[in-house]
């Protein structure tokens, strides 16, 4: 497909990404078979109470929250452009794992727990990155 301007002039670069509005429209309820895993208000409050002092100290700079049908993930970044230092995942109840909460660092599972408080108490012990030369 060749891109043209409103005056029908051929533009130098073809469009690379074609988006369909139907992909972004709300689907009827029958299409929502799986519910997303989310953090509760209490869990978010606990996460942010650990995150905020580290931001104040300049240790952490950014966070991201992702929701999928199988897990919710709170990722912590030193810089916005980097990979997460830590990620705390809440798994769906039907996953069959030993713990509903996981702590990731360096792409590996560092700890499993049945509640988020057990994961967050690990940050009181001043976690450090393993295998990072910084």
Q: Scan for tokens 């990620």, then name that residue.
A: 87
**CA-based radius of gyration for the chain:** 21
In the prediction, which pLDDT does 17 show?
Answer: 65
In the prediction, which pLDDT does 80 show?
Answer: 75
In the prediction, which pLDDT does 36 show?
Answer: 81
In the prediction, which pLDDT does 75 show?
Answer: 95
CB 105 within 8 A of CB 85: yes
pTM above 0.75, yes or no: no
CB contact burial 74-97 (16+ within 10 A = b; e otherwise): bbbbbeeeeebbbbbbbbbeeeee
Q: Scan for tokens 């990404």, then name that residue.
A: 17
Q: Which residues in 30-129 belong to E strands, given as ranges?
A: 62-67, 71-77, 86-91, 101-105, 108-113
pLDDT string in tens for the chain (134-residue length): 555 545 555 555 555 666 666 666 666 555 555 678 899 999 999 999 999 999 998 999 999 999 888 899 999 999 877 889 999 999 988 766 666 999 999 889 999 999 999 999 998 876 556 665 55
In the prediction, which pLDDT does 106 show?
Answer: 87
In the prediction, which pLDDT does 107 show?
Answer: 85
In the prediction, which pLDDT does 115 show?
Answer: 92
**Beta pairing class for 62-67 and 71-77:** antiparallel
């Amino acid at each position: 497909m060749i891109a043209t301007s409103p005056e029908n002039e051929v533009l130098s670069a073809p469009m690379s990404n074609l988006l369909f509005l139907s992909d972004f429209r709300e689907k009827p309820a029958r299409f929502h078979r799986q519910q997303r895993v989310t953090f509760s208000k209490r869990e978010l409050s606990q996460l942010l109470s650990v995150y905020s002092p580290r931001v104040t100290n300049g240790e952490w700079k950014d966070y991201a929250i992702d929701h999928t049908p199988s897990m919710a993930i709170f990722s912590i970044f030193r810089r916005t452009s980097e990979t997460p230092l830590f990620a705390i995942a809440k798994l769906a109840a039907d996953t069959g794992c030993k713990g509903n909460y996981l702590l990731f660092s360096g792409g590996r599972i560092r700890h499993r727990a049945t509640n988020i408080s057990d994961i967050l108490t690990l940050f009181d012990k001043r976690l450090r990155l393993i295998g990072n030369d910084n």
